[in-house]
Amino acid sequence: MGAGHSHGGSQVAGTAAGRHKRRLALALGLTTAFMAAEVIGGLLTGSLALLADAAHMLTDAGGLALALTAIRFAERPATPQKTFGYVRAEVLSATLNAVVLLLLTVYILFEAYERFRNPPQIIGGPMLAVAVVGLVVNLISMKLLAGGSSESLNVKGAYFEVLSDMLGSLAVIVAAAVVMVTGWNLIDPIIGAGIGLFIVPRTWGLLRQAIHILLEGTPPEVNVALLEERLRSIPGVIEVHDLHVWTLTSGLDAMSGHLVAEDTKRADEILSSASLMLGSEFGLQHTTIQIESRAHREAPGHDSRI
């Protein structure tokens, strides 16, 4: 019998979010700097739409801070107690981020309902000015995070928050213009509720993706049936079992499996062929493969239920 293990790069190199630390930090600085002004503007103008946008700014700052904290944890080396290190911190951060956004949406919808019942007075001019500045800040932050959003679940969560705020700023600008031109204050809770509802599908998708990773689900880009077929096609392999593929964190997938060899003397040859194929065809660099004989496979007590 034989076993093989291969992996490419270090933990930090394998963590996609780690390549975007500087952009996350810049986006966090911009968001934090503007957040206070937007909160004050919302309180002074009495605008729920502006306060909803300000609340999203607050969660943006928290989400970006969580993302950076998760990256720093992920950079810590593995220990005997945590053999994979802290790379899963990114997924935990994205999960928390999504839950906070969903709870915030519930609050915004409740506040919108209250304002439908008792519409407040809205000051349109300052509301418009603050929303325009917010739009500029959000566009800059989106530009900073756009590249990393397709690579990292953590950065993706932060990008979605900034995207929702950008659209929120646009909506607040519309609401402010309507208030200034027509005096129709009900547009404010309508826009506020719309901002909240807009982010629900995206946030829910992010939460489902994070939970899928935490439950060690198969990466969506990996076809396990095809993977097993390709392993079986390696010369000398007569059976494949105990095959598992899962995601440690964004950009870092892992695989383990047992290959029954016709002749275990060819274990090194089979292992090399399997590792090359897994990396080139499926992008799997962190793999653990056990090569075993038919006798071992059929031995009493051999358990392959999982």
CATH value at residue 226: 3.30.70.1350
In a domain, 222, yes or no: yes
CATH assignment at residue 127: 1.20.1510.10
Q: Where are the beta strands (DSSP E) in the chain?
A: 2-6, 237-249, 252-261, 286-293
User: What's the pLDDT score for residue 231?
Assistant: 96
Question: In terms of domains, do 132 and 156 share one?
Answer: yes
User: What's the pLDDT score for residue 10?
Assistant: 39
In a domain, 109, yes or no: yes
Q: Among 188, 214, 240, which residue terminates a domain?
A: 214
Question: In terms of domains, do 112 and 236 share one?
Answer: no
Question: In terms of domains, do 22 and 144 share one?
Answer: yes
Question: In terms of domains, do 68 and 153 share one?
Answer: yes
User: What's the pLDDT score for residue 158?
Assistant: 72
Question: In terms of domains, do 163 and 249 share one?
Answer: no
Q: What is the mean pLDDT of the chain?
A: 79
Question: In terms of domains, do 236 and 288 share one?
Answer: yes
Q: In this predicted model, what pLDDT tens digit does every residue of 174-204 receive, in sequence order?
A: 888 888 888 888 887 888 788 778 778 877 8
pLDDT > 90? residue 107: no
In a domain, 4, yes or no: no
State the Cα torsion 293-294-299-303 to the nearest 10°.
Answer: 80
* Reported confidence tier of residue 233, pLDDT bands at 50, 70, 90: very high
Structure letter (DSSP) for residue 283: -
* Reported confidence tier of residue 146, pLDDT bands at 50, 70, 90: confident
In a domain, 5, yes or no: no
Q: At CA 244, angle to CA 261 and CA 151, rounded to 5?
A: 125
Question: In terms of domains, do 200 and 229 share one?
Answer: no
What SS3 string covers 181-218? HHCCCCHHHHHHHHHHHHHHHHHHHHHHHHHHHHCCCC
The residue among 87 and 286 whose pLDDT is bigger is 286
User: What's the pLDDT score for residue 14?
Assistant: 43
Q: What is the rounded CA–CA span in Å between residue 78 and residue 69?
A: 17
Q: At CA 174, angle to CA 179 and CA 176, rounded to 5?
A: 35
Q: In this predicted model, what pLDDT tens digit does every residue of 42-63 receive, in sequence order?
A: 777 777 666 766 766 766 777 6
User: What's the pLDDT score for residue 245?
Assistant: 95
pLDDT > 70? residue 13: no
Q: In this predicted model, what pLDDT tens digit does every residue of 244-255 receive, in sequence order?
A: 999 887 778 899
Over residues 230-257, mean pLDDT: 91
User: What's the pLDDT score for residue 222?
Assistant: 93
> Global pTM?
0.70
Question: In terms of domains, do 222 and 210 share one?
Answer: no
Q: What is the rounded CA–CA span in Å between residue 126 and residue 180?
A: 10
In a domain, 304, yes or no: no
Over residues 199-217, mean pLDDT: 85
Q: Among 214, 237, 254, which residue terminates a domain?
A: 214
- Asked if residues 231 and 255 have their Cβ atoms less than 8 Å apart, the reply is no
The answer to which of 9-13, 142-146, 215-219, 231-235 has the lowest mean pLDDT is 9-13
Domain that holds residue 31: 14-214
Question: In terms of domains, do 209 and 243 share one?
Answer: no
* Domains identified in the chain, total number: 2
CA-derived radius of gyration, the chain: 25
- Asked if residues 101 and 203 have their Cβ atoms less than 8 Å apart, the reply is yes
Q: What is the rounded CA–CA span in Å between residue 14 and residue 151?
A: 11
Q: How many CB atoms lie within 10 A of CB 172?
A: 34
Strand duo 252-261 + 286-293: pairing: parallel
User: What's the pLDDT score for residue 9?
Assistant: 40
Question: In terms of domains, do 166 and 182 share one?
Answer: yes
Q: Among 166, 186, 214, which residue terminates a domain?
A: 214
